[in-house]
């Protein structure tokens, strides 16, 4: 089949039953301890009659030191050749397949740190240059509820 996309190798941390295994035991231990601490606090609030899950804070120890917008861009530098091919493909269906393959191919990168990013603030912006492809990306949080992030990519092979 001439138009088939090439198969990518499995991620080194692919779990045999599906998904991705976290190889960092220290991080898992820290997360388990933090969740236990959070549950203890929830129990105390429950017995005190102060349970509001929407305003219950999540322990900062669980977060990575970046915002959601930064983490959102992580997967986009994984397979830039697919974007370059999409930019030069006249067939719209193939171009869409290549763009989707680009985004799907990088999803595993978003979970490498195994930590939750900080929620973006409405109007927050972030921009970066993906090297060595020289693709510039600009992002903005345009809605809080529901959470919607807008992005624009520009450069050789970028599909904005």
Q: Is residue 109 part of a domain?
A: yes
Domain count, the chain: 2
pLDDT at 134: 75
Q: Are residues 73 and 37 in the same domain?
A: no
Average pLDDT by stretches of 10, the chain with 160 residues: 67 79 84 87 83 74 83 77 86 92 81 77 89 81 90 69
Phi-psi category of 63—alpha, beta or left, where left has phi over 0 and alpha has psi -120 to 50? beta
pLDDT at 141: 94
Domain with 71 in it: 63-154
pLDDT at 19: 80
Contact 75, 110 (CB under 8 A): yes
Contact 74, 115 (CB under 8 A): no
Q: Residue 138: how many CA atoms within 13 Å on its side-chain side? A: 6
Q: Is residue 148 part of a domain?
A: yes
């Amino acid at each position: 089949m001439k138009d088939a996309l090439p198969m990518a190798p499995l991620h080194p941390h692919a779990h045999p039953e599906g998904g991705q295994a976290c190889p960092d035991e220290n991080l898992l231990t820290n997360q388990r301890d933090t969740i236990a601490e959070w549950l203890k606090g929830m129990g105390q609030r429950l017995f005190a009659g102060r349970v509001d899950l929407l305003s219950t804070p999540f322990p900062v120890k669980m977060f990575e030191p970046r915002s959601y917008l930064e983490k959102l861009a992580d997967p986009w530098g994984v397979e830039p050749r697919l974007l370059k091919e999409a930019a030069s493909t006249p067939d719209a269906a193939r171009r869409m397949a290549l763009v989707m393959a680009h985004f799907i191919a990088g999803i595993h990168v978003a979970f490498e740190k195994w930590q939750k990013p900080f929620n973006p603030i409405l109007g927050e912006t972030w921009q970066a240059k993906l090297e060595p492809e020289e693709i510039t990306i600009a992002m903005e949080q345009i809605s809080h509820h529901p959470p919607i992030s807008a992005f624009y990519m520009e450069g050789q092979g970028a599909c904005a």
